[in-house]
Amino acid sequence: MNSDTPMIMAEQLGKTFVLHNQGSQEIPVFLGLDLTVYKGECVVLHGPSGAGKSTLMRALYGNYLVNEGSIRVYHGGDGHNGEWVDMSRAAPQKILAVRKSTMGYVSQFLRAIPRVSALDIVSEPLMILGEDESKAHERAGELLSRLRVPESLWSLAPATFSGGEQQRVNIARGFSAEFPILLLDEPTASLDAKNRETVTDMIREAAERGAAIVGIFHDEDVRNSVGTRMFDIKPVKEAA
Amino acid sequence: MNIETTPLLSVQSLGKDYGGKIGCTDVSFDLWPGEVLGIVGESGSGKTTLLNCLSAQFEPSRGKVVYDTRVDGPRNIFDMSESERRLLMRTDWGLVRQNPRDGLRLGVSAGANVGERLMAIGARNYGEIRGVASEWLEKVEIDTNRIDDRPTTFSGGMQQRLQIARNLVTNPRLMFMDEPTGGLDVSVQARLLDLLRGLVTRLGLSAIVVTHDLAVARLLAHRLMVMKDGRVVEQGLTDQVLDDPQHAYTQLLVSSILQP
């Protein structure tokens, strides 16, 4: 664990939503935001609802654009051919390359794909990295078992699963490839106590193997048990 | 998806007019090997006109479409001779039309539909052609017992899958698809999407997919181009364009979807 090696360096980020079809209303979210995340730490984004926690997370993933600043992410794994990629202005295929091998994102909801089984959804990140199918399925099975998704469901498409089951499939997918950077947006939101504890363990293990983690956790116990540092986000109107 | 230095297709200031009216104009983009580009917009936005120019169905009024050919490297397809362009369309490119009846030969069997493109590039051995045709029927999930049946006896979803097999049989590098799931039942759409997704990933194809269905675009495309009144108003990473649209028109488009 190298806690002095930065993996994400976001500098002077500014984000304002402009709603063109609602009188060009402007909604400022953050301004002048700096965040550095190091290997092996779990930074908890903290702030009231609507402060922009998810917006920041999505910007780090290249899913939302920022109006100002840069989001540099260390991409390339073993340190020899690595490079810094600015997620705020990199070409789409570069952002996809970062997502393929460097950065995983677990959202609150699973975007189920028709006809694709739970096992394949969890295996996919590994398959994309070139892992062979049997090994990818083995790893996917381990994760699904650990998260108590009954084996009878593995071959089914999760569209009909319960919210908690879908969420656990989603978490298994996010953890299957052991990404160097993990973004977790309320991964424990719809889970029971046992599964919440399992996910908490998995997050801690990921940090121990050296992953740089950014998370939003509603649950205070989870926050305290996985977080190594708090990052406060204040609504921009207060800050200004 | 590989990041390479030469784009497979490079489109420069492309435009097409109909009389005094603009079909599409000022369109420029690069398509990279293995990349799937979605073109979205409402009817009349110029997306099908653009696709028809890109795939050499129409001659554009201005601009270039430069394709990285296997033998001679990058060439403007409109500087090629008619026969060169035809060969390209029959081998390296595929075109999947919205209505499978426009892309199939209805008077001959399913097997002959798939085999035709092979014969066009010189295959002559009947047994081999039939063998390859039957493999492709299997890949697109059509029962090989139906190889001698005419496509008119197939359902819409099967016809669409047959059209895809017909195109893929020559191992094209670039596929053009015009509303590939349009006009199909939702369950049939899902099956086709799953099939397309798998084929594109496994074969490392590049594709340009025109659709008005944003869910289809999200599932298939790496990158999106949004068109309005013949112009590209916004482009970028698919999920970024759909989740954080910047242009007024894209915001309207995204917010107009009914959530089931």
Task: Residue A37: give the domain boundaries.
Answer: 1-101+227-240
Q: What is the ipTM of this complex?
A: 0.91
Question: Which chain A residue's Cα is nearest to B201?
Answer: A128
Question: Which chain B residue's Cα is nearest to A61?
Answer: B240
The enclosing domain of A93 has a CATH number of 3.40.50.300
CB-CB neighbors (< 8 A) of A63 in chain B: 237, 239-240, 243-244
B162-185: average pLDDT: 90
Please indicate, yes or no, if residue A186 is contained in any of the structural domains.
Answer: no
Whole-model pTM?
A: 0.91
Instruction: Count Cβ neighbours within 10 Å for each residue of A57-70 and write b for 16 or more, e otherwise.
Output: bbbbbbbbbbeebe
pLDDT tens figures, A200-219: 999 999 999 999 999 999 88
Closest CA to A108 of A216, A228, A207, A31: A216
CB-CB neighbors (< 8 A) of A115 in chain B: 190-191, 194
How many A/B residue pairs have CB atoms within 8 Å? 58
With an 8 Å Cβ cutoff, are B244 and A64 in contact? yes
Question: Which chain A residue's Cα is nearest to B36?
Answer: A93
Please indicate, yes or no, if residue A199 is contained in any of the structural domains.
Answer: no
pLDDT tens figures, A8-33: 999 999 999 999 988 899 999 999 99
Number of domain units in chain A: 1
User: Considering the domain B9-92+173-255 in this protein, what is its CATH number?
Assistant: 3.40.50.300
- A237 — pLDDT class (breaks 50, 70, 90): low
DSSP string, A110-137: ----TT--HHHHHHHHHHHTT--HHHHH
Rounded-to-integer distance, Cα A16 and Cα A66, Å: 8
Test the B interface: residue of A20, A61, A123 with most B CBs within 10 Å: A20
Please indicate, yes or no, if residue A144 is contained in any of the structural domains.
Answer: no
pLDDT tens figures, B122-169: 888 899 999 999 999 998 889 999 999 999 999 988 999 999 999 999
Please indicate, yes or no, if residue A166 is contained in any of the structural domains.
Answer: no
pLDDT tens figures, A96-146: 999 999 999 998 877 767 788 999 999 999 998 989 999 999 999 999 999
- A149 — pLDDT class (breaks 50, 70, 90): very high
